[in-house]
Structure 1
Amino acid sequence: MAWYRQWASFVKRLAHIVAKPMKRDSGRGGMVVHPYRGYGSQKEVFVMGRVFRQAALGRAIPRRGILRDTADVTRRIFRRGFKEAEVELNVGSNTLTLTTDRDGYFDAHLPIEHDLPIDISWHRADILVRAEGQTPVRTSAEVYVPPPEADLLVISDIDDTVMFTGVAEKLKMLYRLFVRKPHRRTAFPGVASLYQALYRGVSEKAERPILYVSRGPWAIYEMLEAFFQMNRIPVGPILFLREWGISWRKPWPRKAEDHKRDLIDRMLGLYDEMPCILIGDSGQHDPEVYTEVVKAYPGRIKAIYIRRVDKDPKRQEAIERLRDELAGTDCDLVLAADSVLMAEHAHRQGRISRRGLDAVKRDVKEHLAEEEAEQAGISQ
């Protein structure tokens, strides 16, 4: 019966995570606002979010427990975006007013005319949403602005770069995420310590901006937040997900490579003097997209780290040709089977500390030892 208890625990925890955004209305329904973490510089900041219209919770539903979570999951499935709601955004003494689009999203681009404090990296964006016939809603979001001494920008893919996300493995991925021990979940070995090392830099006090990209829809935002927290991965803005809403005019979500390239362009423009490292995987279009970025921004991209997630020799040859194309630039393309190779290169470039490199090696070694012990137990 142990397997039954584990799966019951999995279902309960998964339902609680999926239902979590619905708790904010205390069951009242109506208009609700879900902001996402923002990002920016001392010149401008960006904050995204979505305004929903959702049903109220029945009085017979208890306030806690699996029945409440199930009811909230149902409410989440049937909620709809609230179009043309007025959104007022305040960051420090800077203010912007805009309206939501037909799907309820707002994407605020706020110029900074009044300086923000430079002794903190996370700032508060106060949000007020109004709509006819609705009670105004106040909420807030965190906005990341790197400190003046930040010396490196890191832009990383998530899917099959930070976490295992093979389509055939979705259910297993969720099981590992919510049932198994934190260090045995869905992150690649050494990822947490690698990203911590990149975040802290050689001084181990750098607080560099690490921005994450996913091909998934915004609906999985809370799942990704839980994943990052459980796996001790530095929490940056999980910024760049796609809306997968299907309509007759747009029957398919936007291509992942176009989505990613536009966002990288935006980031390099925002942090216009900061060198950058790009991290991705071999399974999609990351090497090709990143190579084009290197050519478009001479001298800006200092390294491309590509996690090898398949054993197709033709794919490896294609990536090696891209590496040869970059031979005369300031950028090294590193095709790596594990996090150690990435960390060793970053250390040689003077991007991470010796302690950071040692932490990555230790984590990968411990993971391999655990896998060997697990396999030995299965074979006995």
Structure 2
Amino acid sequence: MTGLFRRLLRNAARPMKRDRGRGGYVVHPYRGYGSRHEAFLMGRVFRQTSLGERIPRYGVLRDLADIVRRLLRHGLPEVTVKVRLGDNVTTVTTDRDGYFDVHLPLEHPLPREATWHHADLHVVMPGAEPVHSFAEVYVPQVGADLLVISDIDDTVMYTGVANTLRMVHRLFVKQAHQRMAFPGAAALYQALHAGRSGNAKRPILYVSRGPWSIYEMLEEFFQLNRIPVGPILFLREWGISLRKPWPRRAEDHKYDMIKHMLSMRDELPCVLIGDSGQHDPEVYAQIVHEYPERIRAVYIRRVERRSERERAIKALRDEIRYTGCDLVLAEDSMDMAQHAFAQGLISSAGLEKVRQASFT
């Protein structure tokens, strides 16, 4: 139990290590996404406390102090953030929790040979030193032929949210690169990213119902498991307060984000990937009804086997069949890969890599 406790501390404290205990004002942007006409990114401006001189640089006490500092982060409302992407400039204002959304029309084209672009962020507050940061913004290649939008929890990685102790054990005790991702999931997303040609470099967007506070942990998970692209993550601000003690419904967040991403690239067909445990099938079916010519396939990972739940998902499958979109209730990553290959969405080499990763 001591080992579990230490791992929990280290993981919860890790996002605070970057400032080396100095504290102060921080502008923290998240990776963004764009088209050739518009860019979108999010972030937060907050103040975090500094470490006292008596706190050691390493050890349990330092981790506990960093966790407290993280909990005491204070979002700064009504702060102006200046954003520059190439020769395109805009300013936005933070909300009451310090978060900001940037929707930047690209009146000046970005270099076409690059897919990742560097956005500079600049914040000036009265009585404080200017704060600078930067964000990476992903703009798909002009010839991209497919957009992939995926859930994360119980879709890419197993969280087991129904069993809290098991979820904690899997996230923090077992090795991330071996135990967190579903077998074959990384190979499946690599195959979808590469496409039938093997060099399609398709955009893959990940939408989670988790809060922004787990962003750093998810970044590490994607890097360890070599899951493309980015990652580009769209989480949600829970917005909990005394008047509103419960977070915003996750399905509303996912529905809104998917619609926004589809509107930014209205020429691209799309694949949606989720799981059977929450509301993904219902949200995705609604999207298919609204965009019947855009959605090529819906892949739902089977994570529970309640008969009434499976009947409901199969009813949704029959309901959207008129659009030509297949809803696949998949046992594993290989089921998704086989359908994707049959639809010409991935290559035979990609299929074989999923097969090898699923059964080794």
Q: Does 1:226 align with 2:220?
A: yes
Q: Does 1:274 align with 2:268?
A: yes
Q: Does 1:149 align with 2:124?
A: no
Superposition RMSD on alpha carbons, in Å? 1.7
Q: Does 1:71 align with 2:65?
A: yes
Q: Does 1:321 align with 2:315?
A: yes
Structure 1 runs (4+) deviating above 6 angstroms are none
Q: What is aligned with 1:239?
A: 233
Q: What is aligned with 2:293?
A: 299
Residue pair 2:204, 2:232 contacting (<8 A) in 1 also: no
When structure 1 is superposed on structure 2, of 247-256 and 194-203 the one drifting more is: 247-256
Q: What is aligned with 2:103?
A: 109
Q: What CA distance in whole angstroms lies between the structure 2 residues aligned with 1:104 and 1:138?
A: 16
Specify the SS of the correspondent of 1:328.
Answer: helix
When structure 1 is superposed on structure 2, of 277-286 and 165-174 the one drifting more is: 165-174
Q: What is aligned with 1:261?
A: 255
* Displacement after TM superposition at 1:70 (Å): 2.6
Q: What is aligned with 1:161?
A: 155
Specify the SS of the correspondent of 2:321.
Answer: coil
Specify the SS of the correspondent of 1:166.
Answer: coil
Q: Any gaps of 5 or more consecutive residues in structure 2?
A: none
TM-score w.r.t. structure 1 length? 0.90
* Displacement after TM superposition at 1:333 (Å): 0.8
Specify the SS of the correspondent of 1:159.
Answer: coil
* Displacement after TM superposition at 1:83 (Å): 1.2
Specify the SS of the correspondent of 2:18.
Answer: helix
Residue pair 1:298, 1:329 contacting (<8 A) in 2 also: yes
Specify the SS of the correspondent of 1:172.
Answer: helix
When structure 1 is superposed on structure 2, of 51-60 and 342-351 the one drifting more is: 51-60
1:176-231, Cα deviation, whole Å (9 max, x unpaired): 34443445312111111001100111122111111001111111111111121222
TM-score w.r.t. structure 2 length? 0.95
Q: What is aligned with 1:51?
A: 45
* Displacement after TM superposition at 1:66 (Å): 4.0
Q: What is aligned with 1:40?
A: 34
Residue pair 1:173, 1:186 contacting (<8 A) in 2 also: no
Specify the SS of the correspondent of 1:107.
Answer: strand
* Displacement after TM superposition at 1:12 (Å): 4.0
* Displacement after TM superposition at 1:50 (Å): 0.7
Q: How does 1:1-380 map to 2 (within 5 A)?
A: 7-8=2-3, 10-366=4-360
Q: What is aligned with 1:371?
A: none
Q: What CA distance in whole angstroms lies between the structure 2 residues aligned with 1:235 and 1:16?
A: 26
* Displacement after TM superposition at 1:31 (Å): 0.9
Q: Which amino acid aligns with 2:217?
A: M
Specify the SS of the correspondent of 2:318.
Answer: helix
Q: Any gaps of 5 or more consecutive residues in structure 1?
A: 367-380
* Displacement after TM superposition at 1:49 (Å): 0.6
When structure 1 is superposed on structure 2, of 54-63 and 243-252 the one drifting more is: 243-252
Q: Which amino acid aligns with 1:89?
A: V
Q: What CA distance in whole angstroms lies between the structure 1 residues aligned with 2:216 and 2:229?
A: 12
Specify the SS of the correspondent of 1:293.
Answer: helix
* Displacement after TM superposition at 1:28 (Å): 2.1
Q: Which amino acid aligns with 1:164?
A: Y
| Residues 261 and 168 of structure 1, relative CA distance in 2, 3 Å threshold | closer
Q: Which amino acid aligns with 1:61?
A: I
Residue pair 1:121, 1:146 contacting (<8 A) in 2 also: yes
Q: What CA distance in whole angstroms lies between the structure 2 residues aligned with 1:11 and 1:136?
A: 38
Q: Which amino acid aligns with 1:60?
A: R
* Displacement after TM superposition at 1:259 (Å): 1.2
Specify the SS of the correspondent of 1:167.
Answer: coil
Q: Which amino acid aligns with 1:282?
A: S
| Residues 12 and 125 of structure 1, relative CA distance in 2, 3 Å threshold | farther
* Displacement after TM superposition at 1:59 (Å): 1.5
* Displacement after TM superposition at 1:305 (Å): 0.3
* Displacement after TM superposition at 1:243 (Å): 1.3
Residue pair 2:80, 2:124 contacting (<8 A) in 1 also: yes
Specify the SS of the correspondent of 2:145.
Answer: coil
| Percent of aligned pairs sharing the same letter | 63
When structure 1 is superposed on structure 2, of 274-283 and 170-179 the one drifting more is: 170-179
- Alignment coverage as a number of residue pairs: 360
1:323-347, Cα deviation, whole Å (9 max, x unpaired): 1122221211111111111000000
Q: What CA distance in whole angstroms lies between the structure 2 residues aligned with 1:222 and 1:189?
A: 23
| Residues 13 and 171 of structure 1, relative CA distance in 2, 3 Å threshold | same
Q: Which amino acid aligns with 2:46?
A: F
| Residues 143 and 333 of structure 1, relative CA distance in 2, 3 Å threshold | same
* Displacement after TM superposition at 1:86 (Å): 1.6
